[in-house]
Amino acid sequence: MQILPASRIRNLAPYLFADIDRIKREVEAKGVDVISMGIGDPDLPTPGFIVESLKQAADNPKNYRYPDYQGLARFRAAVAGWYRRRFGVSLDSETEVCALIGSKEGIANFALAVVDPDDIVLVPDPGYPVYRTGCLFAGGRPYAVPLTKATGFRPELEAIPQKVARRAKLLWLNYPNNPTGATVEPAFFVQAVRFCLKNEIILAHDAAYSEISYDGYRAPSALEVEGARDCAVEFHSLSKTFSMTGWRLGFAVGNAQLIGALGKTKTNVDSGVFQAIQEAGITALESNESGLYESCAVYQERRDLLVGALRGLGLDCETPRATFYVWAEVPKGYTSVSLAVKFLNEAGVVITPGSGYGKFGEGFVRFSFTLATPRLREALRRVQALRL
Ligand SMILES: *Cc1c(COP(=O)(O)O)cnc(C)c1O
């Protein structure tokens, strides 16, 4: 029998990092100790007090059964408390908060909750690929909103053709931004909310990096803006904030009808987050976050090493105020893929071609600094010997 996967899988664009993966294996086969700056996955361990909290919760048989779909009432209350302290936003933890098995799951399922076939979804380009694939899986039509250097990698919403804006169902935003490292001030969300209310578009903001910031910058929430609750939801994750990528814990907050629609979708495809992990999440959200400042200090030191080395090499880049990515311009004579291939072949260092995040990502490469500082220094030593 011939196995034919569904067209939604077959029609996905070929995996752009496949070439890089293949060359990486070839270079490794030659005995080179390849250093990856390709993936954004904190190397710093989850703080010990959070791990302790999981160990205790894992001993309680009450946690072995199916959890509540929307999340433990106490977890949702902890999220609401964190939002009040962090952003000054008050949320009804009953109706405006939903626990997620990591925010990627919520982002993908949100499209199933709100997008009908042929609906237009405005997706940032370059951007986190799930906004686009989630839309495609729901039968929607992604419309790329370019993030360019000229506008500080913020979308020009007013430049979206009226015809498109009027037909659009959903707009994705992500600040602090992956892959560009761009940040915004609250005024940006005032404009975005106004644009969405005027055109009756749902605003979904992915705030995965809100707590990874430097130089005193504090990322705003889209929900701080008046009117946001009429159109917006925001996605958060404990993955980056508390170095918990493998634990799979996140949450969505905002407009009660939208949170309800996401929750209804999820009740049909999953059965919630293991309660012991939610218990540990409560401990994390209610902590004094001093560990957070320590990890940001480690990242900031690496950021400065990296930006200094790249500029020394002649690569143009901004110093990011948040995230653990540097988005550097590809010099003349290279494409983002050919530059990444050169880094891999000649320095044994993996970086990510910007074209993997969308066509407007061409001309840039992304460096992630979630690797131990001595490894980063070694990578930079090798990279500085390159001739571009
Ligand atoms: C890492 C990341 C996430 C969060 O992923 P989880 O599923 O919560 O681990 C969400 N959005 C962006 C842009 C990311 O880079």
pLDDT tens-digit profile of 6-64? 999 988 877 767 778 899 999 999 999 999 999 999 999 999 999 999 999 999 999 99
Q: What is the pTM of this model?
A: 0.97
Q: How confident is the model at residue 230 (pLDDT cuts 50, 70, 90)?
A: very high
Cβ–Cβ < 8 Å for 89, 245: no
Q: Which residue's alpha carbon is at the smallest distance from atom 10 of ligand 1?
A: 208
N-term to C-term CA, the chain? 51
Tally of domains in the chain: 2
Tens of pLDDT, residue by residue over 345-365, are 999 999 999 999 999 999 999
Contacts of 228 (CB under 8 A, 6+ apart): 189, 193, 203, 222, 254
Please say which residue of 238, 265, 285 terminates a domain: 285
Q: How far apart are CA 373 and CA 57, in angstroms?
A: 33
CA atoms within 13 A on the CB side of 85: 11
Model pLDDT, residue 286: 97
Secondary structure letter of residue 314 according to DSSP: T
Q: Does 299 share its domain with 246?
A: no
Arithmetic mean of pLDDT, 132-151:
97
* Nearest-atom index, ligand 1, CA of 239: 9
Residue 158 lies in a domain: yes
Ligand 1: lining residues by beta carbon, under 6 Å: 40, 102-104, 128, 174, 178, 206, 208, 237, 239-240, 245, 250
CATH code for the domain of 161: 3.40.640.10
* Nearest-atom index, ligand 1, CA of 177: 13
Range of the domain at 59: 48-285
CATH code for the domain of 17: 3.90.1150.10
Q: Does 66 share its domain with 38?
A: no
- Element spanning 25, H or E: helix 18-29
Q: Does 183 share its domain with 302?
A: no
Residue 1 lies in a domain: no
Model pLDDT, residue 156: 97
Q: Does 74 share its domain with 119?
A: yes
Q: Does 299 share its domain with 278?
A: no
Q: Does 75 share its domain with 209?
A: yes
